[in-house]
Structure 1
């Protein structure tokens, strides 16, 4: 067991973990932050996407011990403290960028990473950035539209599918 300390969604946490504890397990089981989903356990689906020190990371590919001293952000940290949705979350709701919702936390976290680095992405850039996130329900069209809307771009000319 090793002790790890990190800041998760703005709060400092210290816990003892086994060396083989994955970050997704740490978040879900130790911190009870269950918005980070376990999809494939092989880093293929992106449902476990989080940010570590401002970088997009699949939490199933990282040991919790690797995040010692890091700033970690999960889907639970995206909304305002009063529960108000951020621009990306609101755009997903407004533009029907979700159906079953399983992939949504990872998609929102991927979108946040993209928009931080590229505030006005093209549709092709959004689609390219989402290549590591799988959605089996939506066909991606409305997810892309939501991300572009969250960037402040006019999406009124994009037909819904």
Structure 2
């Protein structure tokens, strides 16, 4: 961006100089001042001056076109770099989010496995400590399931 600003400032200064020079020529007050006007009155070729001014205007137009095309190219490059940067940012953000979800899923899976293992150990301990009570509960559940199955 700094290079672009310097280029635009340089172009503006160059164009301003050329436009001032052109304006002085059109008004007939060049560095020679009024002598230039006197030379024209004494038979100097006005057509030659007009041709020279047209040539200078053409040079100014070509210079402006060149600078505008350079500015367009710089703008396109900047836009392309911005688009690439945005694309990279979005891609990185999505990758980070996916990684966090993956880590969260692994943590939940590990926690569920641990809790399932803990529950199974507690059931084994209860069955080991009170085998008759566990058998009575299992028989009661079986009886209720059998009764529910007959109704349907």
Larger Rg: 2
Q: Which has the higher strand share?
A: 1
- TM-score bracket, normalised by the shorter chain, equals under 0.3
Larger RCO, structure (CA 8 Å, separation 6 or more): 1
TM-score (structure 2 length as normaliser): 0.19
